[in-house]
């Protein structure tokens, strides 16, 4: 989905989200930020990075740069999430079989969901970036529950093959860290990144 990019800005700041994720856009909207959405079109398969926390930041940066290069104003936020499960980087599973295998391995155990955030100000070229990490403890789900969940198709659309704000929520026992980060975007981290660039998150409230 592509929504219009902002025009010339003066006293206010607009945020462009370089992600097609409805969950990220909804998180921003709930926090009073009506972000524009511009899908980067970046080919993630061109990135060959093994370490999960590094991978998510490299992808977030690439998405933000791809969109920032088309704009002259506002702020561009790129995000990408990767689950670190015992050192392996779990993005979106390739198919239902892979999603099933992952859930068989993850159930009753824990992983760390990393989300890379890259914020760029196209007008000045300034940027701030960081990774937010949250430990996720998975429930001891049954084979039947795994089959039913994978059958919905939801695990195929998300990093790590699970959601916490959707059908996968009942299969997450608890988390250590920021809930929003598991959804796809850490609002406290976004606030800090905005501050590094001299902006306040409250400046984005109601800006369209």
Three-state DSSP class for residue 23: helix
Options 43, 80, 95, 165, the catalytic residue: 80
Nearest-10 Cα torsion for 35, 40, 45, 50: -50
Beta bridge partners of 172: 138
Alpha helices in the chain (DSSP H): 22-30, 52-68, 96-106, 143-151, 179-183, 187-196
The tokens describing 155, both together, are: 């695990």
Asked if 178 is an active-site residue, the reply is no
C-alpha separations of 193 from 17, 18, 101, 134 in Å: 14, 16, 37, 18
> Beta strand pairing status for 15-17 and 75-85?
parallel
What whole-number distance in Å separates Cα of residue 63 and Cα of residue 76? 9
* Nearest alpha-carbon partner for 77 in 63, 58, 91: 63
Active-site amino acid positions: 80
């Amino acid at each position: 989905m592509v929504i219009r990019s902002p025009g010339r800005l003066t006293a206010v700041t607009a945020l462009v989200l370089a992600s097609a994720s409805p969950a990220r856009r909804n998180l921003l909207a709930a926090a009073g930020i009506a972000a524009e959405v511009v899908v980067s079109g970046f080919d993630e398969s061109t990135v060959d990075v093994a370490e999960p926390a590094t991978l998510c930041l490299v992808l977030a940066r690439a998405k933000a740069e791809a969109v920032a290069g088309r704009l002259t104003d506002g702020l561009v936020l790129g995000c990408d999430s990767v689950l670190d499960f015992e050192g392996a980087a779990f993005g979106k599973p390739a198919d239902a079989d892979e999603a099933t295998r992952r859930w068989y391995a993850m159930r009753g155990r824990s992983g760390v969901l990393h989300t890379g955030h890259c914020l760029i100000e196209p007008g000045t070229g300034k940027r701030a970036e960081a990774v937010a990490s949250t430990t996720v403890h998975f429930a001891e789900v049954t084979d039947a529950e795994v089959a039913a969940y994978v059958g919905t198709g939801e695990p195929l659309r998300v990093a790590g093959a699970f959601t916490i704000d959707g059908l996968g929520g009942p299969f997450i026992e608890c988390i250590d860290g920021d809930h929003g980060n598991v959804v796809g975007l850490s609002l406290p981290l976004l606030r800090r990144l905005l501050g590094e660039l001299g902006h306040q998150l409250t400046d984005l409230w109601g800006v369209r």
